[in-house]
Amino acid sequence: MEMTARSVAVVGPTASGKTGRAVDLAKVLGGEIISADSRQVYRQMDLGTGKDLEDYDGVPYHLIDIRDAGEKYNLHDYLKDFAVAWDDITSRGKVPVICGGSGMYVESALSGLRLPDVPENTRLRESLKGKTLIELEEILKGYRSLHNITDLDTAQRAIRAIEIEQYYLDNPDKAISADRSKTGALDALVIGVEINRESRRRRITERLHARLDSGMTDEVRRLLDAGIEPENLIYYGLEYKFLTLYAIGEMSYQDMVKGLETAIHQFAKRQMTWFRGMERRGFKIHWLPYDMGRQEFVDAVLELL
């Protein structure tokens, strides 16, 4: 079929079923998935990141399992890897189908954003040491905010975001390349998987307990046994933060489950805030109900294309 857009992006909050939707579209369009998830890049972090690789059903995917657990991965890294994947897919006449819930990754990639390398700022890090996540988020709001607040669920990640913004402030010549107005946006139809709050909360809870039953705690213990430092796992936030605290004896199982469930609900809410912000910033997102039939969903997207 002839498409009016060169690619499709499928976005939505966690547990909305967006991966299955992206796979269905890729099969029809002759496409390949480019993941837009800040945690699924790591190997051996499967249950905690909700990779659900069996859902891809033979459809090729990119930017999953490309880094070792324990490494740091950021927007700069993602945009470089995204460009390589995009060029590879399109050079073979395939359709890129971008799928993920990391709003910053999706928006930045679609904007054509390119970022310079940002070195560590030891003095700045030392001045921020000991501040709470809430305090760090308030500091970050004072900058021009290129970075994804949906992923800032640990102090380490917030400090890195502040470090990057301060670098741009101190190096305005470098910041020019990080200005979306200076770059070319990609041609993409953006589809949003819409799910109401009650259904979203129910699915998050069900999914969390299913992953716990499948051995998510054991996955974290294996990573710790492999020599990854607890603080490096805590850095990844959400499941890895709470499960690591439980595994090293700093949190009871009951408190871990309760705290993690609350954190995921809050995360999903921040994801939706980001996507609504994308719309205000000029992105047209076509929202389709999460509980549409598979063929009905595909047909609706084909109509938009």
Give the residue extent of every domain in the chain: 7-114+183-304, 117-181
pLDDT of residue 182: 46
**Which of 219 and 170 is assigned the larger pLDDT?**
219
Q: Which residue has the tokens 């705690």?
A: 217
Backbone phi, then psi, for 288, in 5-degree steps? -125, 145
DSSP 46-103: -TTTT--GGGGTT--EESSS-B-TT----HHHHHHHHHHHHHHHHHTTPEEEEEES-H
| Residue 167: closest CA among 154, 156, 178 | 178
pLDDT of residue 168: 80
Asked if the model's pLDDT at residue 247 lies above 70, the reply is: yes
- As a whole number, mean pLDDT of residues 184-201 equals 93
Q: Which residue has the tokens 């490096």?
A: 232
**Which of 13 and 112 is assigned the larger pLDDT?**
13
Residues 146-190: pLDDT tens digits?
544 556 667 887 888 888 888 888 887 766 666 544 456 889 999
* CATH superfamily entry for domain 7-114+183-304: P-loop containing nucleotide triphosphate hydrolases (3.40.50.300)
Stated length of the chain: 305
Asked if the model's pLDDT at residue 54 lies above 80, the reply is: yes
User: Angle between the 294-304 and 18-29 helix axes, to the nearest 10 degrees?
Assistant: 60
Q: Is 35 helix (H, G, I), strand (E, B) or coil?
A: strand
Residues 100-129: pLDDT tens digits?
999 989 998 998 887 777 888 999 999 998
Tell me the range of 11-20, 105-114, 118-127, 134-143 where mean pLDDT is highest: 11-20
Residues 251-288: pLDDT tens digits?
999 999 999 999 999 999 999 999 999 999 899 999 99
- As a whole number, mean pLDDT of residues 207-219 equals 97
pLDDT of residue 113: 80
Q: Confirm if 33 and 97 have CB atoms less than 8 A apart.
A: yes
pLDDT of residue 176: 61
C-alpha torsion sign, points 254, 257, 259, 265: negative
pLDDT bracket for residue 138 (50, 70, 90): confident
Instruction: Quote the pTM value.
Output: 0.83
- Would you give the DSSP letter of residue 42? B
